[in-house]
Amino acid sequence: MKKYFALFNVAFGQSLSYRAETALWIFLDIFPIMITVIMWVAIYHSDSGVRSLSLSQLALYYLAVLTVANLAETHFDEKWVDNVIHGRIDHLLIKPLNFILNMVMIQLSNKLLGFILFLLPTGIITVVLASNNVIQLPGLNATALFFFILFLCFAFVMNCILSSLIVLAAFWFDESRSLSHLKWMMSGVFGGGIAPLAFYPQWIQTIGQFLPFSRMLSLPATLLSQQTVPSTIWGDVGMMVAFISVGVVVLSLVWQGAMRKYSAVGG
């Protein structure tokens, strides 16, 4: 474990040298969600006869989605797919480090800096929205916070598994980065990234029940924004444990296949 901690420290140092880039990513992530919130504010102000959620609940939901995405979503697949395709991984394969844990630790260090930089603009937005009575912040509930943190961890692990599978797909398939787009779309539709799941057609909600995405994004976002725990929470915990267990087994099998497939001639 010590060597992975050392790796984390080195990666965090490198992230610090690219802090401007990280800060810009945060702005670029926040911006689209803010436009969506502005649009919903305009809808709620011009049309009062709709919806199952109040404007405050909806705006809080989007802020919570932003927070969960910032903490739990992983993007290392884009860079590592290139590394695999161009053979820039030979040096890693001969080191006494697990290839996948290596990617995860680097991502974790980026997440830490990203979250520190994320707090300030999101805090300002929250204060501005609260002071303009767009949102009413709920009281904190310890049980909801516990489950929020638990599902955040689940989401991070599941995202790491999915991103790693996309990276490993590059051992067979040149355009595996197109799978990243598929992951984002699935998360947007079935995870409730573009709107709360309650707004979706029933058939999408039904399909979503059998996929991990809503428990990786919508559920933790709802726990954070509403501070209430749904009665089905233990069932959701069980489903996430099952998804992660299956994901780990599949990842391990794909990794073994990838190592059999890979060949390189220096670097």
Q: Which residue stretch of 47-55, 150-158, 164-172, 225-233 sits at the interface with other proteins (rule: CB under 8 A)?
A: 47-55
Cα three-residue angle 183-184-189, rounded to 5 degrees: 100
Q: Which is nearer to other proteins, 91 or 181 (CB)?
A: 181
* Residues 50-79 contacting other proteins, CB under 8 A: 50-51
- Are the CB atoms for 243 and 153 separated by under 8 Å? no
CB of 30 to other proteins, least distance (A): 9
Q: Select from 6, 9, 13, 24 the one that contacts other proteins (CB under 8 A).
A: 24
Q: Is 46 in the site for other proteins (CB under 8 A)?
A: yes
Q: Which of 222, 220, 251, 204 is nearest to 156 (CA)?
A: 220
- Are the CB atoms for 141 and 227 separated by under 8 Å? yes
Q: Select from 31, 172, 234, 262 the one that contacts other proteins (CB under 8 A).
A: 31
Q: Is 237 in the site for other proteins (CB under 8 A)?
A: no
Handedness of CA 224, 230, 232, 233 (dihedral sign): positive
| x/- letters, 159..188, toward other proteins (CB under 8 A) | ---------------xx--x--xx--x--x
Cα–Cα dist 137/127, whole Å? 10
Q: Which residue has the tokens 């904190």?
A: 140
Q: Is 35 in the site for other proteins (CB under 8 A)?
A: yes
Q: Is 124 in the site for other proteins (CB under 8 A)?
A: no
Q: Which is nearer to other proteins, 4 or 25 (CB)?
A: 25
| x/- letters, 198..227, toward other proteins (CB under 8 A) | -xxx--------------------------
How many of the chain's residues bind other proteins (CB under 8 A)? 35
CB of 21 to other proteins, least distance (A): 5
Q: Is 129 in the site for other proteins (CB under 8 A)?
A: no
Q: Which is nearer to other proteins, 64 or 157 (CB)?
A: 64
CB of 40 to other proteins, least distance (A): 8
Q: Which residues bind other proteins (CB under 8 A)?
A: 17-18, 20-21, 24-25, 27-28, 31-32, 35-36, 38-39, 41-43, 45-47, 50-51, 174-175, 178, 181-182, 185, 188-189, 194-195, 199-201
